[in-house]
Amino acid sequence: MLSVGLTGGIGSGKSTVARRLRDLGAVVVDADAVAREVLVPGSEGLSRVTERFGDDVLADDGSLDRAALAGKVFGDANAHADLEEITHPLIAARTTELFAAAPDDAIVVHDVPLLVEKHMGDRYHLAVVVHASTAVRLERLVGRGVPESDARARMDHQASDGARRAAADVLLDNEGAEEELFAQVDALWRDRLVPFEQNVRSGSILRRPSTPVVADYDPDWEAQGSRLMARVCRALGERAPQIEHVGSTSVPGMGGKDVIDLQVGVRDLREADDPEFVEALARAGFPRVEDYRMDHPTDDLPDPSLWVKRFHGSCDPGRVTHIHVRELESAGWQYALLFRDWLRGDESARDEYARVKEDLAAEHASTADYAAAKAPWFSEVWPRMQSWAQRTGWHD
């Protein structure tokens, strides 16, 4: 099963996207609908709400008078907290039931208005954000009869556009016609969601192109790395006491292969062989690659046992990701962090590495040949990295 979080500001067209995804075959779990469901007449939720707030929050037909309830909790932090204490566990339990009821091969879309505000993005394989400018959303809301002042007030209580962009693995632009939005949703479904689900179910990873390509620096690499680290952290919990974004995409301003490299630190590498550890990453969309278990030793640390690791790839056809699981403080762990921080801190080293990559990418037709050609340079710069570490007082 693939889980997708869907969100967007009021008036962005999120509900339109949810309907389109449902038409394409997704199982849609509507957070607002679930919140209403747990407070229907006769429910435990409504009984507890009336016990706390009184029968005057009920309409004549016994249903919840939402306006009356809002009047009770508006501006009262304690009352609002009491309401959440009643409803949130019920909503969570019902949502879990709906996810569990979905078929094994389902693409489950969780339509959540406050996904960004509640920092929920790491719960899903992907977070999809529907975007439209403030002006466009205001025009839509006013056209539906919402007073402009009310619309602005509701927008002010939601996440900013910048926060939504930072949370988005996929950003759907809904500034234009509905047909244009549908085209984006259909492409997302066909090209990313369907193959992603199939890959998760089969344990297949996305591999980078066989031809080495050095891409220009992408300012979004940092946010992508942060989102992926959050998902890995949620999957592994205390089993991964430290997770780092490493490799070329972790160095601001420097180009490189468009691959997000994460380093997961474990206290003992045997923990990474625990079936629960392996399965947790696989469920999150990061299956293990069994035949990749070694880093390249440096000349002054040639003992292979110092460079053993475990490796996981990603099922996401839209984002090549490599996860290197290493023991904390091992040679491989320290090298990856020192190399990253050296490049971040030394502009000349950063420029040199960029030239080396560009030259070798032009000379070699395969990624294997490209990687082998780079290996001597890594050994060559190791003393310079150590000197920089001593000079700056670096420590991992």
At 153-199, the pLDDT tens digits run 889 889 999 999 999 999 999 999 999 999 999 999 999 999 999 99
Co-location of 48 and 197 in the same domain? yes
Answer whether residue 320 shows pLDDT above 80. Answer: yes
Out of 143, 168, 202, a domain closes at 202
- Residues 291-313 have a mean pLDDT of 88
pLDDT tens digits, residue range 343-375?
999 999 999 999 999 998 889 888 888 888 888
- Residues 248-257 have a mean pLDDT of 94
Out of 202, 233, 250, a domain closes at 202
Tally the domains of the chain.
2
Percentage of residues in the chain having pLDDT higher than 90: 82
Co-location of 386 and 335 in the same domain? yes
Confirm whether 153 is domain-assigned: yes
Q: Where in the sequence is the domain holding 193, given as residue range(s)?
A: 2-202
Confirm whether 173 is domain-assigned: yes
pLDDT tens digits, residue range 191-247?
999 999 999 999 999 877 777 788 999 999 999 999 999 999 999 999 999 999 999
Out of 202, 230, 257, a domain closes at 202
Co-location of 107 and 170 in the same domain? yes
Confirm whether 163 is domain-assigned: yes
80 three-state secondary structure? helix
Co-location of 344 and 286 in the same domain? yes
Q: What phi, psi does 60 have (nearest 5°)? A: -60, -30
Binding residues: 11-16
- Find the Cα–Cα–Cα–Cα dihedral 212, 213, 218, 223, rounded to 10°: -30
Cβ-contact 293, 311 below 8 angstroms: yes
Give 282-295 as a DSSP string: HHTT--B-TT--BP
Instruction: Assign residue 135 the CATH number of its domain.
Output: 3.40.50.300
Answer whether residue 299 shows pLDDT above 80. Answer: no
Q: What's the whole-number average pLDDT of the chain?
A: 94
Co-location of 196 and 233 in the same domain? no
The reported pLDDT for the residue numbered 211 is: 73
Binding residues for ATP: 11-16
- Residues 298-313 have a mean pLDDT of 89
